[in-house]
């Protein structure tokens, strides 16, 4: 049998444009700083509870694509900054960031093989669970004025994940996964 006209034989190893250069420190830390700036920017109080945690989302993205640059130490530092920004007890967001980072790093090999939408389905419980954990622990440690609307930010994060992953894939030159024939 001869292959159809205009098709190339599939190679076992990627070649040419299918190869992806590994992300650089500048891309990883630059995107994390930009996401942190979005988190720290002054949002209108009436919609502040709907704004997703961009730094957390970008951290999880880099945990999947470049775990050697964005690990537990980065999660801890970003969590402390989030605690200071939101006026929470010190360490609540850090604990939630580190727990989610640990889960993503343990599932990293599996998650990197999914497209952006499928990754969003896998990462959505962590995006929702982070906000729920911070609220529950904050209540447990005496912050009794809990606004459960803050859980909506986790839903918005889960809905924005495919767009964020696609955008960072395009900006970093990560090739989209080829569809099997």
Checking 70-77 for CB contacts under 8 A at 24+ apart, the result is 70/28, 70/32, 70/101, 71/101, 71/105, 72/98, 72/101, 72/102, 72/105, 74/32, 74/101, 75/100, 75/101
Residues 6+ apart with CB under 8 A from 135: 146, 148, 150, 151
Beta carbons of 56 and 86 less than 8 angstroms apart: no
Q: How far is it, in rounded angstroms, from Cα 97 to Cα 88?
A: 14
Q: How far is it, in rounded angstroms, from Cα 103 to Cα 134?
A: 16
What is the percent of the chain where pLDDT is above 70? 81
Beta carbons of 100 and 129 less than 8 angstroms apart: yes
For the chain, give every domain's residue range: 50-172
3-state secondary structure of 127: helix
What are the CA-CA distances from residue 28 to residues 117, 135, 157, 165, 168 (Å)?
21, 29, 19, 13, 10
| Predicted pLDDT at 112 | 87
Q: How far is it, in rounded angstroms, from Cα 172 to Cα 21?
A: 9
The tens digit of pLDDT for each residue in 140-172 reads: 877 666 676 778 888 999 999 999 999 998 887
pTM: 0.81
Beta carbons of 62 and 104 less than 8 angstroms apart: no
The tens digit of pLDDT for each residue in 7-47 reads: 665 556 555 555 566 788 999 999 999 999 999 999 887 88
3-state secondary structure of 90: coil
């Amino acid at each position: 049998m001869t292959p159809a006209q205009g098709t190339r034989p599939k190679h076992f190893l990627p070649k040419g444009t299918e190869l992806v250069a590994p992300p650089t420190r500048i891309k990883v830390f630059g995107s994390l700083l930009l996401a942190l700036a979005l988190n720290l920017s002054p949002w209108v109080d009436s919609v502040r509870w709907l704004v997703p945690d961009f730094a957390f989302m970008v951290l999880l993205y880099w945990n999947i694509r470049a775990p050697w640059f964005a690990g537990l130490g980065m999660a801890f530092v970003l969590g402390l900054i989030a605690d200071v920004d939101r006026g929470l007890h010190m360490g609540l967001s850090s604990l939630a960031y580190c727990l989610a980072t640990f889960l993503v790093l343990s599932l990293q090999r599996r998650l990197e093989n999914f497209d952006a939408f499928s990754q969003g389905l896998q990462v959505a419980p962590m995006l929702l669970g982070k906000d729920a954990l911070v609220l529950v622990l904050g209540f447990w440690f005496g912050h009794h004025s809990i606004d459960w609307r803050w859980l909506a930010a986790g839903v918005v994060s889960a809905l924005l994940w495919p767009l964020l992953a696609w955008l960072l894939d395009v900006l970093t030159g990560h090739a989209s996964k080829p569809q099997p024939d």
